[in-house]
Amino acid sequence: MSTVTFGIAPGYGEKLHAALGYSGAVRVDDRVEISGQAGVDDDLVIPDALEDEIIQAFDNVERTLATVGATWKDVIHVNSYHKVAPGADVIGEDHNRVMAEQFRRRLDGRAPIWTETGVTALGLAAMRVEIRVTAVVGSGN
């Protein structure tokens, strides 16, 4: 029988759980799935600068993984959603540069698979990025 554990990050995660009724993470044995993480602070405020928003989203992935005993080094798959203008045919280099910098900084050479999707709307009107990951606890050791 599998062991299932749900996790809710303190601060922003608790607020979203109370408002919308979902958990930020679930761990089934050693496999972890997290919900999409926005670049919000604990008051659900989004930074003005895109780079700061992406970095905050990466921080929130880290905080959410920690609720179920995982880290960025356990991540095997990343889905990122990037707001683009209707009709845009590419996700901007401003997004890609910061995403790649954060992968290098947090993954210590590990290269998980990555699916990057352009969208015209996200959960909050001001959001420009959302990041969701899958991890296997212990796989990054």
Residue 104: the pLDDT is: 95
What's the burial of 108, exposed, middle or buried (CB within 10 Å: 0-12/13-18/19+)? exposed
Is pTM, for the whole model, over 0.75? Answer: yes
pLDDT tier for residue 88 given thresholds of 50, 70 and 90 = confident
What is the Cα Rg of the chain in Å? Answer: 15
CA-wise closest residue to 34 among 3, 2, 5: 5
CA-wise closest residue to 36 among 113, 95, 122: 122
Rounded to whole angstroms, the maximal C-alpha distance in the chain is 47
What's the mean per-residue pLDDT of the chain? 95
Residue 20: the pLDDT is: 95
CA-wise closest residue to 129 among 34, 56, 33: 56
Question: Alpha-carbon distance 57 to 137, whole Å?
Answer: 20
Average pLDDT rounded to a whole number, residues 39-48: 96
Question: Alpha-carbon distance 115 to 141, whole Å?
Answer: 24
Average pLDDT rounded to a whole number, residues 33-60: 97
- The residues facing 102 across adjacent strands are none
Average pLDDT rounded to a whole number, residues 1-16: 95
Residue 72 neighbours by CB distance under 10 Å: 22
Question: Alpha-carbon distance 113 to 13, whole Å?
Answer: 25
Q: Are 75 and 112 in contact (CB under 8 A)?
A: yes
Average pLDDT rounded to a whole number, residues 12-27: 96
